[in-house]
Amino acid sequence: MIFPILYDVSLFALLLLSVICMVTGVGLLLLKRWSLWLGLALSPYIVVAAWVALSYSRNFVGFFPNIKTGAFHISLILWIVLTPISIILLMDKRKKFG
């Protein structure tokens, strides 16, 4: 996580997003109410980051030039689809958070 700070300062927003997502994940494991709302607030940013990565990569190398790139693109699509589903499931279980 120190790489963006040392070599490319423009990636600082992604570093900040990843740190906040990790903190939110720990809070979700501990069933903290603040993590539920933070996860809900972060979900659009997560989807946008995945969408931008997919769009850039697809335009740069194509959708399926080789198996590694194709697997990466499919994983990004799954990430985009499963993030809203996980947020819906979190909202359903919000009464368990204390």
User: What is this structure's pTM?
Assistant: 0.80
H or E segment at 37?
helix 33-61
The tens digit of pLDDT for each residue in 51-64 reads: 999 999 999 998 88
| Rounded Cα gap, residues 8 and 58, in angstroms | 23
Neighbouring C-alpha atoms within 13 Å toward the C-beta of 78: 6
Q: How close are the terminal C-alpha atoms of the chain, in Å? A: 31
Provide the CB-side half-sphere exposure for 4 (13 A, CA).
Answer: 12
Residues 8-17 have pLDDT tens digits of: 777 788 888 9
Domain borders along the chain are: 3-96
Are 47 and 83 in contact, with CB atoms under 8 Å apart? yes
